[in-house]
Amino acid sequence: MTSFSKRYGYGANVVPAPISVREDAPHDFRGVLVDLAYESLAKPSVVREIVCRVLRVRADSNNWSEFPNIDREVRELLDDAPWYKVYDVAEAIYSALVHKHRHDAAADFSRELNAYFVEHGIGWELHQGELRYRGPEGFEAVVKSAHAAVTRHNHRTAASELHEALNDLSRRPHPDRTGAVQHAMASLECVARDVCGSTTTLGDVIKANRDLMPRPLDVAVEKIWGFTSERGRHLVEGREPTEQEAELIVGLAAALGAYLAKLRP
C-alpha cells in the first residue's frame, strides 16, 4: 500500500534542498539508510551481514534477537563508520537486492534513497547501483536529458564521454574537474563530427559549418572551446577549473551536444 502523500501526489513537487553535503554522511542519514534497508531486506540480521562485510568487522555473537539487539548493533556500527563507508554500505544493499533477483525492491530502494538525498541537500545519486556526483537541479536536468538524447540518436561514444565526465566529478577525495571538462567537450566534439561527417576538431567543425547553430551561438561555442583549451586540455599551473566552472562546462557541452544530436536523427 502506498503512502497518503504518494497516492495524492503531495510529494511530487518537493523543492530540492541546496546541496550542502558532499564528503560526509550525516547522523540522520545513517539512521534512514538502516530504515530503508529494513524496508527492502526485512530483517536486521540480513542487514547486519552486509554491514559487517563492508566494514570488515565481526558480528556480535551475543546478539540473537532481531529487535532490539541486532537492530541496535547495526545502527551503532553505521553511526561509528567513516562517512565514505556508509555510502559503500548503501551500494552493497542495492547489490544484494539485485543478487537476490529482487529488482523491484532494488528500484524502490534506489528511488527512496535518491529522494532523501534531494530533500536533504546530499550531493550524491545512486545510479544503476553506483553512487555518483549530483549537481544542482538545473545541472542534473540538463545532463540527464542530454545523455538520453545522444544515446537515443546512437551517438554512443558521446554518451560514454558524458558518463565519464560525471565519473570524474564523482571522484573522491579529489574530483578530477579537468578530466570532467575534457570528457564533456569530447562528447560535444563527437556529436559535432558525427553530424557533419568530419574528423577535425570541434573548433574547426564550427568554423566550417556556420549554419550548424543559430548565430551568434556558433561564436559562443568557439569561446567555450578556447576556454576549455586553457583550463581543461592545455593545463596551466594553478588554473584547474573550479567546481562551478566544471559544472558550467559540462552542462553547456551536454546541452549543445543534445541540440546537435536532434538536428540529424
Note whether residue 183 is domain-resident: yes
Alpha-carbon gap, residue 226 to 240, rounded angstroms: 15
Note whether residue 19 is domain-resident: no
One domain for residues 151 and 244: yes
One domain for residues 157 and 233: yes
Joined together, the cell numbers standing for residue 246 give 566544471
CB 184, CB 253: distance < 8 Å: yes
Note whether residue 10 is domain-resident: no
One domain for residues 76 and 160: no
Instruction: Give residue 233's pLDDT.
Output: 54
Joined together, the cell numbers standing for residue 211 give 549554419
Q: Among 133, 149, 181, identify where a domain stops.
A: 133
Question: At which residue does the C-alpha cell 545523455 appear?
Answer: 147
One domain for residues 114 and 143: no
One domain for residues 258 and 141: yes
One domain for residues 86 and 47: yes
3-state helix, strand, coil in the chain (%, to 5): 70, 5, 30
What are 37's strand-pairing partners? none
Q: Among 99, 133, 167, identify where a domain stops.
A: 133
Question: At which residue does the C-alpha cell 561514444 appear?
Answer: 157
How many structural domains comprise the chain?
2
In tens digits, the chain (265 residues) has pLDDT values of: 678 887 888 766 777 899 999 999 999 999 999 999 999 987 999 999 999 999 999 999 999 999 999 999 999 999 999 999 999 999 999 999 999 999 999 999 999 999 999 999 999 999 999 999 999 878 888 898 999 999 999 999 999 999 999 999 999 888 999 899 999 999 999 999 999 999 998 888 988 988 888 888 888 888 888 888 776 554 455 568 888 999 999 999 999 999 999 886 5
Q: 83: burial class by Cβ within 10 Å (0-12, 13-18, 19+)?
A: middle
Which sign does the torsion angle of CA 29, 175, 202, 213 carry? Answer: positive
Say how many CA atoms lie within 13 Å of 152 toward its Cβ.
15
Instruction: Give residue 223's pLDDT.
Output: 85
Q: 40: burial class by Cβ within 10 Å (0-12, 13-18, 19+)?
A: buried
Alpha-carbon gap, residue 205 to 193, rounded angstroms: 7
Q: Distance of alpha carbon 221 from its chain centroid, rounded?
A: 26
Instruction: Give residue 217's pLDDT.
Output: 83
One domain for residues 143 and 122: no
One domain for residues 60 and 93: yes
Note whether residue 37 is domain-resident: yes
Instruction: Give residue 98's pLDDT.
Output: 96
Note whether residue 21 is domain-resident: no
CB 172, CB 130: distance < 8 Å: no
One domain for residues 165 and 191: yes
Note whether residue 17 is domain-resident: no
Alpha-carbon gap, residue 83 to 26, rounded angstroms: 8
Q: Among 118, 133, 148, identify where a domain stops.
A: 133
Note whether residue 147 is domain-resident: yes
One domain for residues 80 and 150: no
Stated pTM of the model? 0.77
One domain for residues 158 and 259: yes
Note whether residue 164 is domain-resident: yes
Alpha-carbon gap, residue 45 to 39, rounded angstroms: 13
One domain for residues 141 and 257: yes
Does residue 35 sit in helix, strand or coil? helix
State which residues form the domain around 118.
26-133
